Amino acid sequence: MPIYEYRCPGCDSKFERRLKFSEMNEAQSCPACGSEAERQLSVTAPLPVAAGVAASCPTTGKPCHCGGWADA
Ligand SMILES: [Zn+2]
């Protein structure tokens, strides 16, 4: 389940919500002031590695297609 980052335009606080996909478009209110918060674009969730591309390959230190674990 993805975790979405929200930022409150009212008090500038940030918080995270773990939402189901069916809930991701629902408005989230700020826990501090109750204003409707804006969802940030960054998703901090552990997402499945897209198309086998590792964010950072331990072998090369760069994004690659070995899934992060190149055969030795
Ligand atoms: Zn707030």
Q: How far is the CA of 20 from the centre of ligand 1 (A)?
A: 22
pLDDT for 50 equals 52
Tokens 């030795």, residue located: 72
- Domain membership of residue 43 as a residue range: 1-72
**How many folded domains does the chain comprise?**
1
Instruction: Enumerate the β-bridge partners of residue 37.
Output: 28
Tokens 């969730």, residue located: 45
Query: pLDDT category, 1, cuts 50, 70, 90?
Result: confident
Q: How far is the CA of 33 from the centre of ligand 1 (A)?
A: 4
For residue 47, which phi and psi values (nearest 5 degrees)? Answer: -90, 155
Sign of CA dihedral 16, 18, 24, 25: negative
The predicted model scores a pTM of: 0.55
Does position 9 have pLDDT exceeding 70, yes or no? Answer: yes
What pLDDT, in 10s, does the model give residues 18-66? 999 899 889 999 999 999 999 987 655 555 555 555 566 677 777 766 6
Question: Rounded to whole angstroms, how far apart are CA atoms 67 and 51?
Answer: 9
Provide the token pair at 29: 């209110």
